[in-house]
Amino acid sequence: QVQLQESGPGLVKPSQTLSLNCTVSGGSISSGAYYWTWIRQHPGKGLEWIGYIYYSGNTYSNPSLKSRLTMSLDTSGNDFSLRLTSVSVADTAVYYCARGSYHKGFDYWGQGILVTVSS
């Protein structure tokens, strides 16, 4: 059974960088053609796709976040990470990591981590 777990600070100051990690267990991050994905949900709102990193290392991002976003993959640690620079209060959200594929959607999700941007 694949499991994903987000980790990182729950509070970030405006203009700083938000960094999150997603540890994958029960399967190798480098096996299979999966998109290792970040999705966020603003309080009381819908889901927003942030971006994903393919098992090959290629990344694809939401155009609205692309200029501030970096994603990376660590095969030795079996995890992947997100860095979002120059955050503002508008980046306050629950951040989810998930495993996805074009044909089968996002089939495994982390439990989510609330990140608050506040001074």
| Site residues, other proteins (CB under 8 A) | 35, 37, 39, 46-49, 52, 58, 60, 62-63, 96, 100, 102-107, 109-112
Which residue bears the tokens 């306050």?
92
Considering the complex, state which of residue 23 and residue 37 has its C-beta at the smaller distance from other proteins. 37
Per DSSP, 83 falls in state: E
Give the C-alpha separation, 65 to 68, whole Å.
Answer: 6
Considering the complex, state which of residue 80 and residue 106 has its C-beta at the smaller distance from other proteins. 106
Considering the complex, state which of residue 44 and residue 119 has its C-beta at the smaller distance from other proteins. 44
Amino acid occupying residue 98: A
Considering the complex, state which of residue 55 and residue 60 has its C-beta at the smaller distance from other proteins. 60
Yes or no: say if 93 and 42 are a contact pair by the CB < 8 Å rule.
Answer: yes
Minimum CB separation of residue 35 from other proteins in Å reads 8
CB environment 28-38: b (16+ within 10 A), e (fewer): ebeeeebbbbb
Minimum CB separation of residue 60 from other proteins in Å reads 4
Category of 33 on φ-ψ map: left (φ > 0), alpha (ψ -120 to 50) or beta: beta
Minimum CB separation of residue 28 from other proteins in Å reads 21
